[in-house]
Amino acid sequence: MKIWRDLGHKVQPSQNLIDYWNKMTSGSINRQIFGAAVTVALFTVLVKLVAVVKELVVAHRFGTGDELDAFLIALLVPSFVINVIAGSFNAALIPTYIQVREQEGKQAAQRLFSGVTIWGLGLLVITTILMLVAAPLYLPVIANGFDRQKLDLTFHLLYAIAPFILLSGISIIWSAVLNAGERFALAAFSPIFTPGITIILLLGFESWRTFALAAGLICGTAMEIVILGIALKKQKISLLPKWYGFNPHLHQVTKQYVPMIAGSFLMCSTGLVDQSMAAMLPSGSVAALSYGSQVITLPISLATTALSTAVIPYFSKMVAHQDWTNIHHTLKHYLKIILIVTVPLTLLLIVFSEQIVQLLYQRGSFTVNDTQLVAKIQFYFAFQIPFYVANILVVRLISAMQLNYILMQVSGLNLIINIVLNYVFMQWMGIIGIALSTSCVYVFCFLYMFTNAKVRLKKV
């Protein structure tokens, strides 16, 4: 009896904690968003910690050398394709998927899911083939400063990375459907396999060099698909795609997808432009720019992944029910929270930039000179944090309202501003100028999107 009493004492605090959590994350829309965001954030933190370990292993093995430059340029176009073609599925699919499920039931939603899967994968296959066929034309332009040997390595890495595009497309679509069903945890946790497997390959197969990074991307994403597929099957969602014709719901997704993909194309072009212009500078510049963004990317991706994943299903529901009062309240509430959290974090990263880089990277092939350069890049990248995170919240609202053409407008302006500022600041500051240019772009982007969102909410 004493054992059961002791066990009861241990269980009681845990049960109280669960009850408190359920109370804090149920009821109002803001509480539900908070619960979803915290869930995604916790799992994303775990994923990012493993990703940080991977970056430390990469820094120790390759420093800012030519091999890493070649891998990053080889990954540039596949990442661009994934972000533009596959990444746009999420914002285009979820609002319509939720609307169809709420108004017409699960069978109609299943038909939409199947149609989007076939349509999306077909688009990715065609894009991948075109990317490989056209590689001899665009790769020498992007890698303008590379010698022949370094360029040949870049070509081989590109061919090795190519399957990553199709696998990522499947992962993104399946994660979107899980998130639309408010099943956030597994979709947030599954990306842990990619950095985890990459670490194993880097440490266990040293002779593979940068090809271990390519193999890690492919094997890790394949494992993600397996996990997500099991979760969808448990939700009684069929994974075998069937074509039901180009029905009105699929047409609605396409209607939102076209401006979304155009906007993503222009927005992602800024990263392509940044790394291409960095490749024109002295050897190691591409790698230095990448390292300088890593620490900044960690809080940004944590906040934006958690917030954007959590908020879009609820924004989409509110838009479907035309609950404009709650939309306005939610937008105002979370913008305040974003500023309260991100401004002190930004100041911390700016003040201790060099110490952070030294602690994380300065070992092995990563020298003191590398630390000083990367710290300066990181310093200027940090200014974008509050604006980037706040902008994601506004972008998700715009997507939920199915006004994706606004994203296309701002993305075009961003690209123009980015090219001009890159050129001007590079003349003045070298590779560091690209980091400053990026921060300026995101300040403009937030102001433009926020102004448009306020105007649209006032109209309705």
With 50 as the cut, is the pLDDT of residue 361 above it? yes
**Which string of DSSP letters, residue by residue, matches 62-75?**
HTT-HHHHHHHHHH
Q: How confident is the model at residue 187 (pLDDT cuts 50, 70, 90)?
A: confident
Structure-model confidence comparison of residues 221 and 398, the more confident one:
221
Q: What is the pLDDT of residue 460?
A: 66
- Reading the block at residue 2, the tokens are 């004493």
Structure-model confidence comparison of residues 92 and 119, the more confident one:
119
The continuous run of DSSP H or E covering 206 comes out as none
Instruction: Quick: pLDDT tens for 151-169.
Output: 888 888 888 988 888 898 8
- 299: CB partners within 8 A, 6+ apart: 342, 345, 385
Q: How confident is the model at residue 3 (pLDDT cuts 50, 70, 90)?
A: very low
Q: How confident is the model at residue 149 (pLDDT cuts 50, 70, 90)?
A: confident
Determine the distance from the C-alpha atom of residue 129 to the mean position of all C-alpha atoms in its chain, rounded to a whole number.
24
Q: Span 450-459, mean pLDDT?
A: 82
| Burial bucket for residue 259 (CB in 10 Å: 0-12, 13-18, 19+) | buried
Largest CA distance in the chain: 78
Cβ neighbours, 10 Å, residue 270: 22
Determine the distance from the C-alpha atom of residue 448 to the mean position of all C-alpha atoms in its chain, rounded to a whole number.
21
Q: How confident is the model at residue 347 (pLDDT cuts 50, 70, 90)?
A: very high
d(CA 296, CA 274): 16
Q: At what angle do helices 193-204 and 211-234 cross, to 10 degrees?
A: 150
- In the chain, pLDDT over 90 holds for what percent of residues? 4
- 154: CB partners within 8 A, 6+ apart: 70, 71, 73, 74, 139, 143, 146
Any alpha helices (H) in 352-384, and if so which ranges? 353-361, 368-381
- In the chain, pLDDT over 70 holds for what percent of residues? 83
Helix (H, G, I), strand (E, B) or coil at 221: helix
Of 224, 301, 306, nearest to 40 by C-alpha is 306
Q: What is the pLDDT of residue 268?
A: 62
Of 394, 111, 357, 149, nearest to 249 by C-alpha is 111
d(CA 46, CA 434): 30
CA angle 342-346-351, nearest 5°?
Answer: 155
Left if phi > 0, otherwise alpha if psi is -120 to 50, otherwise beta: which for 63? left
Q: How confident is the model at residue 2 (pLDDT cuts 50, 70, 90)?
A: very low
Q: How confident is the model at residue 181 (pLDDT cuts 50, 70, 90)?
A: low
- Whether the CA torsion 436, 440, 446, 449 is positive or negative: it is negative
Helix (H, G, I), strand (E, B) or coil at 241: coil
| Alpha-carbon torsion, ordered 40, 41, 47, 53, to 10 deg | 180
Q: Average the pLDDT over each of 2-16, 36-50, 428-442 and give the range with the smallest value.
A: 2-16
Instruction: Quick: pLDDT tens for 258-310.
Output: 666 666 666 666 776 787 787 777 777 777 888 888 778 777 777 766 666 66
With 50 as the cut, is the pLDDT of residue 39 above it? yes
CB contact at 8 A, 316 and 308? no
pTM: 0.62
Q: How confident is the model at residue 219 (pLDDT cuts 50, 70, 90)?
A: very high
Q: What is the pLDDT of residue 256?
A: 67
Give long-range contacts, CB 8 A cutoff, 24+ apart: 353-360.
353/378, 353/379, 353/382, 356/295, 357/291, 357/295, 360/52, 360/55, 360/56, 360/59, 360/295
d(CA 195, CA 7): 38
Instruction: Quick: pLDDT tens for 243-270.
Output: 766 777 777 777 767 666 666 666 666 7
Q: Span 36-59, mean pLDDT?
A: 79
Give long-range contacts, CB 8 A cutoff, 24+ apart: 206-213.
206/61, 209/67, 210/62, 210/67, 210/68, 210/70, 210/71, 210/153, 210/157, 211/156, 211/157, 211/160, 213/58, 213/71
d(CA 251, CA 137): 34
d(CA 21, CA 36): 11
Q: What is the pLDDT of residue 7?
A: 45
* Residue 130 CA: distances (Å) to CA of 134, 136, 138, 163, 424: 6, 11, 11, 13, 33
Instruction: Quick: pLDDT tens for 366-416.
Output: 778 888 888 888 899 899 889 988 888 888 888 777 776 787 788 788 888
